[in-house]
Chains A and B, each alone.
Chain A
């Protein structure tokens, strides 16, 4: 069996600036792979490579054994329909209310009847405990609520892989914990594979089954949370110290 997602020696540069310099990652079925890195280290770029929004200049990215860069337009759009993406600031369509945001991928990409779509929307909203916000516009929601709606929207089409861009960043500590718990809960309930990028060590240690540390375009350390705690790598040490895991 091939992994759900695999990156092999991916190199990527914006103009002349190298962002990813030989990154290899893999996520097996049911994994929660967390990629840690400082801001600007290229975490969002990694997610864009998986979605085929950006393509590697060298190396390759695979989703379910298919090379993303080799897909033609229609296949790429189909592949994206099998992946859910949670954006850092939720990226809800601001002209649509919560219900319409959730229904959007279903209405546009599937032939599901209206009552079934309604049922799925209600179910996913219940999952993130936002049933009461169904008819609200994104502008009326708090940051944490937006993020939960973003998670619900990423789940409506039952993705095989879900990507999180800094799920708990920019939230108050209490809400951040709620979001982390939600990710764990989802993963337990659906066994969906997840790739999560974050700069927060604490949240990474909590939610990861596998971790990788990205620094200056390279993966400098990887392993389970316990292996990371024991790592002698300097950058990992810095992150651990910042998270209060070590003095």
Chain B
């Protein structure tokens, strides 16, 4: 049983890696002929939908999380007269960990669901096969722009998340701890090291790629007709969230 499960997990993993390789190769073939790997319009459509569309949710959630984090740490540190540590805690906590993690989870839910449902529906309508049969290359035409969009967008959205969290933290620090915005901003920036920011960005790229790959893979390997779309979408979201959390832990274990 367990062995079977592990075997299947590895099969999926290797298929996902092959999806990435196949997509890169098809895109490479096309570029070798002196063309863009895919249509710019399709790419921007994806970035707009997946990225810009995710901003309100990410801002709201991060703002509240930053606020809560400042509130809690301020409450705990105040008796010791150490509330000046609050900005640093929020800043480091978000750039290194919570920003990428929360953004990853939210994108896994939004983008994962969208990509899987879209590609899955196209597979069932034989659209993917038709694109393949024309010799156009479905991986290049459909997967590549989506992957690149989510890969490039995730770090941008993580920055948005970090900023929103700091704003939330600054606001509560002013209200509860009487800290000026200026002081909060200064201390927050001072406490950040380059490697904190770098780690956060690296993680974000990794999460973006993971989410995109899992979502596209689940969509392309859909089974069971229209009813399969719902199921595939759910497993895609669950798998992507689990993968983001697992890789986050792995990354932290290696880096600390």
Contacts and interface: CB of A to CB of B under 8 A. Distances in A.
Given A73-B25, A73-B29, A74-B29, A104 B136 contact: yes
Interface string B25-36: 110010000000
B133 interface: yes
Contacts of A85: 130, 133-134
B120 to A, nearest CB: 13
Of all A-B residue pairs in the complex, the 7 with the closest CB atoms, nearest first, are A80-B135, A91-B130, A91-B126, A77-B135, A81-B135, A85-B133, A105-B134
Interface string A57-88: 00000000000000001101111110101011
Interface in A147-199: 157
A79 B133 CA distance: 10
Contact of A89 (B26, B125, B132): B125
15 contacts: A53-B133, A73-B25, A77-B29, A80-B135, A83-B133, A85-B130, A85-B134, A89-B125, A91-B125, A92-B130, A93-B130, A94-B125, A94-B127, A105-B134, A109-B136
A51 interface: yes
Interface string A105-122: 100110000000000000
Interface in B123-152: 125-127, 129-137, 141
Given A73-B29, A108-B141, A53 B125 contact: no
Interface residues of B, number: 18
Nearest to B135: A80
A65 B125 CA distance: 32
Interface of A: 51, 53, 73-74, 76-81, 83, 85, 87-89, 91-94, 104-105, 108-109, 157
Interface of B: 25-26, 29, 121-122, 125-127, 129-137, 141
B122 A94 contact: yes
Nearest to B141: A108
Contacts of A88: 126
A74 B134 CA distance: 13
A232 B141 CA distance: 50
A135 to B, nearest CB: 17
Contacts of B131: 93, 104
A73 B28 CA distance: 12
B137 A77 contact: yes
Contact of A109 (B25, B125, B134): B134
Nearest to A101: B130
A188 B251 CA distance: 65
B135 A92 contact: no
A85 B136 CA distance: 13
A80 B133 contact: yes
B207 to A, nearest CB: 27
A76 B137 CA distance: 10
A80 B134 contact: yes
Given A77-B135, A89-B125, A105-B134, 9 more contacts: A73-B25, A73-B26, A76-B135, A77-B29, A77-B136, A80-B133, A85-B133, A87-B130, A91-B127
B163 to A, nearest CB: 34
A209 B39 CA distance: 42
A105 B131 CA distance: 8
Contacts of B121: 94
A93 B123 CA distance: 10
Nearest to B42: A95
Contacts of A51: 133
A51 B29 CA distance: 20
B175 to A, nearest CB: 48
B127 A53 contact: no
B42 to A, nearest CB: 9
Contacts of A80: 132-135
Nearest to A87: B126
B125 to A, nearest CB: 6
A104 B141 CA distance: 11
A217 to B, nearest CB: 22
Of B25, B121, B131, B133, most A-chain CB atoms within 10 Å: B133
